[in-house]
A and B are shown apart, each in its own frame.
Chain A
Amino acid sequence: MQARAKQNHLEQEVDGLLHQPGAARFLDDVAVDGVLYWDLEKPDQQWVSPGFWERLGYESGLDLNDGASWQRLVFAEDHARLLENFRQHCLDPDTPFDQTIRVRKADGHVVTVRCRGTALREGGTPVRMLGVQTILDETQAPRIDRQLSELIEMSDDAVMAWSFKKGVCRWNAGAEKLFGVSAAQAEGRDPGILTEAIYPEPWQEISRKLSSGEQWSGEVQRRAADGRRICTSARLSPVDIAGGDILVLEIDRDITAEREVREKLRDHNRELNHRVKNLFAIIQGLIDLSGTDASDPILLTRKIQARISALAAAHLVSIDEEEVQSISFMALLEAVLRPYDEHKERLSLVGDQVRLPKRAVTPAGMIFHELATNAVKYGAWSRPGGSIAVAWEEIAGPGGQPRLSVSWRENFGETAGDGGIDVEGLGVRLIRQSARQLGGTAAWEWQSEGLMVTLEFPIGDER
């Protein structure tokens, strides 16, 4: 490698080329520190003007024209970028081949070199690359590097550089904060293993993309050092592919909260969808049932209307309190029963502050609707001076589970006695079935002043 340079065929070609008007003009246009001439048909062969290496402090006459020397002296990630730009330029002559690369000087310092060139084509096929190098202000590049480093350090996003073989080599403060792992702890580790990453596609697939120079981005599930599950929007860019190793620049943004909101929304949607389908089924059943004992279409329509209104009223109570999993029993009674007694003369509601689980809304609402329509038809509200008192209390059931005990007491007024309910009717069957849906019971008895219905059902969250 350090053999004396011989004049190779490319140098001879350059000699000839410089007499060509186009090439000379290109060189005239730019102030250059070096000239590169590259055989694209034999890509391991290139020629760099000796003065370039001398300006970097290398002994004059060293043969540094082989690909290996070039790769050793040029920063690997810059070299990878240069090759990519070169590929683009070959595909499309309008894409300029122009970039800066960092090159090691003989004394170990680094200079930034602007590298420009043009592919010379024969019949459209690039056969040679004519390039020039300009050494830039040596003080400028490190300053920009330092500023970029500071920016990366200050970023809230986790920014890291790691290679397939050597693991993490950069790990910023954002990464320390997000993953709860210090830069020292992360150094040399595989960040995927370190954060227990679960990728949305097989790692082999991602690895294949990176190896072929493509970026990869996606949502990654991880675990922080404290065991917390986090989700990141990750972008992995291969900045250097060399020697069977891949250097990856990775940026992760914490989207845990965002994802939780999204998942909650999806759950809500699913639940809503279920409720709507269920509601259709209920309405279907309601119409079917209401029709079984009705011969007058107007009465039938009214009956269906009233039942749907009661369902809607109960439902409205539950959506008014969307954020909680339970609803106030008093609010439910008010919504379903108050329309029957706007002047608050014939209905009294007295009881503890009790909340029902949401799933109890429909059956409890239906029970009180059926009791009310029965009262209007046969019971207290069909009789002069009749009134209804609903009272309830929370009691401890078996195993200490909270239960609700409700008494529906009808006062038949001047016409006290039994009757007042069609025990074989649909209303009673609905009440029984709804009570069972609640996991409880419904019972009828007649006291001196009139009908009394007792309901009891669990109101705990678990059944």
Chain B
Amino acid sequence: MVEDEAFVALAIAGALEDEGAEVAGPAATIGEALDLAKDVPCDAAILDIDLGGIDVFPAADVLRAKRVPFLFHTGHGTRRELKRDYPGAPVCKKPMSIPDLVGQVARLIEGGDETA
């Protein structure tokens, strides 16, 4: 899980844990995000895009290479590059209710590799 806003990060992490998930992170910087993506095996990832002004994409690329499905959770408007560069990744726009977001993660995991 990558999210730089503490409240958002802890709330989502808590909700995922309530559903029985084990949460790696939350990573708040691109450095932490890259470490997580490289080193921690996981079934799915939630990626906030803007980490204090730096884009999360290098971590997304690592996940894609490892065929780990992920979704973007962002407050930015739809960026055209997103659809182009990561066609399989759902884009969840902030503010999304936390249960809805958790539902999206569940779908990612059910879809397995096909969505990434």
Contacts and interface: CB of A to CB of B under 8 A. Distances in A.
Contacts of B97: 284
Contacts of A430: 6-7, 10
Interface string A269-290: 0100111011011111110110
B88 interface: no
Interface centre among B5, B6, B10, B95 (most CB of A within 10 A): B6
B10 A270 contact: no
A463 B10 contact: no
A362 B5 contact: yes
A366 interface: yes
Interface residues of A, number: 29
A292 B95 contact: no
Given A433-B28, A436-B29, A436-B32, A289 B7 contact: yes
Interface stretch (B11-19, B38-46, B60-68, B106-114): B11-19
B28 A436 contact: yes
B10 A285 contact: yes
A273 B52 contact: no
Given A273-B77, A277-B75, A463 B53 contact: yes
A288 B77 contact: no
Contacts of B4: 437
Interface in B42-91: 50, 52-54, 75-77
Given A274-B75, A285-B7, A437 B52 contact: yes
B9 A288 contact: no
Contact of B14 (A275, A284, A289, A359): A289
Given A437-B5, A463-B54, A281 B75 contact: yes
B32 A284 contact: no
Given A285-B10, A286-B7, A463-B52, A437 B28 contact: yes
Contacts of B11: 284-286, 288-289
The main secondary structure of chain B at its interface with chain A is mixed
A357 to B, nearest CB: 8
Interface residues of B, number: 31
A283 B97 CA distance: 11
Main secondary structure of the interface of A (DSSP, over half): helix
A426 interface: yes
A283 B76 CA distance: 17
Given A277-B75, A277-B93, A463-B53, A284 B8 contact: yes
Given A277-B94, A359-B52, A439 B10 contact: no
Given A284-B11, A285-B12, A437-B52, A278 B6 contact: no
Contact of B9 (A277, A278, A426, A433): A433
A241 B27 CA distance: 66
B1 to A, nearest CB: 11
Nearest to A286: B7
Nearest to B4: A437
Contacts of A283: 7, 95
A288 B14 contact: yes
A292 to B, nearest CB: 6
Interface string A328-372: 000000000000000000000000000000010011001000000
A439 B14 contact: no
Nearest to B93: A277
A277 B76 CA distance: 8
A9 interface: no
A429 B14 CA distance: 11
Nearest to A360: B52
B10 A282 contact: no
B24 interface: no
A281 B32 CA distance: 22
A243 B77 CA distance: 52
A434 interface: yes
Nearest to A278: B75
B5 A439 contact: no
B77 A282 contact: no
A429 B77 CA distance: 30
A323 B4 CA distance: 24
A341 B82 CA distance: 48
A292 B14 contact: yes
A39 B45 CA distance: 81
The residue among A280, A285, A362 with the most chain B CB atoms within 10 A of its own CB is A285
A359 B5 CA distance: 10
A430 B98 CA distance: 18
Nearest to A366: B6
A289 B5 CA distance: 13
Contacts of B15: 288
Nearest to A436: B28
Given A285-B10, A433-B10, A463-B54, A280 B29 contact: no
B55 to A, nearest CB: 12
Given A288-B15, A363-B6, A463-B53, 4 more contacts: A281-B8, A430-B6, A437-B6, A437-B9
30 contacts: A270-B77, A274-B76, A277-B75, A277-B95, A278-B5, A280-B95, A281-B5, A281-B8, A282-B7, A283-B95, A284-B8, A284-B98, A285-B12, A288-B98, A292-B14, A429-B10, A430-B7, A430-B10, A433-B6, A433-B10, A433-B28, A436-B28, A436-B32, A437-B4, A437-B5, A439-B29, A439-B31, A439-B52, A463-B30, A463-B53
User: What are the 3 tightest A-B residue pairs by CB atom distance, in nearest-first order?
Assistant: A285-B11, A285-B7, A280-B95
